[in-house]
Amino acid sequence: MVDVTQIVSGLAGFAPALALLFYTLREYTYPRAQKPYFDDRKIFAFFALGIVLGMVMFAFEVYGQSISAEETLIALVLGFALMEELFKLVILNFPRFQRKVDTAFCGLAMGLGISSTFTFATVYSSLLGLEDPGALEMAAFSLLGLQLVLMHGATTAMIGVGVARGNIKPYFSEAVLVRIGYGLLMIPFFDPHPPFDIIGLAAATAVVVYAYQKVHRLSLPVLIADAKKGRKAKKIRK
């Protein structure tokens, strides 16, 4: 039977991921755009791929945590941050996706797919580890879920924009820095040292909100504007 913990975990993972997917992509498809910048089938295929990858990443993190110690915690955060973003880059940087505008949107969809299952598993396992989680704990881990959705959505979209532009290095570096910054700030939350756990939680939230807003309000719109300029330039040359 489904219990409250499973419901909260499922909502924390899938609700914000699907909401952000619709919220961000609606500007670039019908009816707001006469000609969509991506194929809906491709977007949902990448979202589904992300769902699978999210569970794989979660399994790797659980295994890493099981063999680590407090002395190696920072190294573990850095290692997982680099591994996860490289994993995303390898997939999005296939030749068939390079220098294509829709790769940025596919990256966003894949990142939100990753976040849905990764968040579900993280929140569920964390709540199970508590003896009797109350409303405060449920709210705190729901916020954690929203953070993970914003973080994976933003960093994967950043990598997708870099691949679409054919200029991977700065966008990949930014994604890694966001991922590392978030991971380091969240260490006190999982290993409480009041008041640093609350400060870290607030700072980590600010980092991922800023990163996603930058993708939503700057990176994607500028990519589309540049793509339009490129199309006009080609027409003029013809």
**Could you tell me the pTM of the whole model?**
0.91
Confidence of residue 59 (pLDDT cuts 50, 70, 90): very high
Structure tokens at 111: 């990142």
- Cα 228 to Cα 48: distance, rounded to the nearest angstrom: 29
Confidence of residue 100 (pLDDT cuts 50, 70, 90): very high
- The answer to whether the beta carbons of residues 112 and 21 sit under 8 Å apart is yes
Domain hosting 96: range is 4-237
Q: Quick one: pLDDT at residue 13?
A: 92
* 41-58 tens-digit pLDDT: 999 999 999 999 999 999
Q: Quick one: pLDDT at residue 237?
A: 43
Q: Does the structure show a pLDDT above 60 at 238?
A: no
Q: Does the structure show a pLDDT above 60 at 190?
A: yes
**Total domains present in the chain:** 1
Mean pLDDT, residues 153-176 taken together: 97
Q: Does the structure show a pLDDT above 80 at 212?
A: yes
Q: Quick one: pLDDT at residue 1?
A: 47
Dmax (CA) of the chain: 70
Mean pLDDT, residues 31-46 taken together: 92
Residues 6+ apart with CB under 8 A from 132: none
Burial state string for 31-40 with b = 16 or more CB within 10 A and e = fewer than 16: eeeeeebbee
Q: Quick one: pLDDT at residue 2?
A: 58
Q: Does the structure show a pLDDT above 50 at 125?
A: yes
- The answer to whether the beta carbons of residues 146 and 16 sit under 8 Å apart is yes
Q: Does the structure show a pLDDT above 90 at 236?
A: no
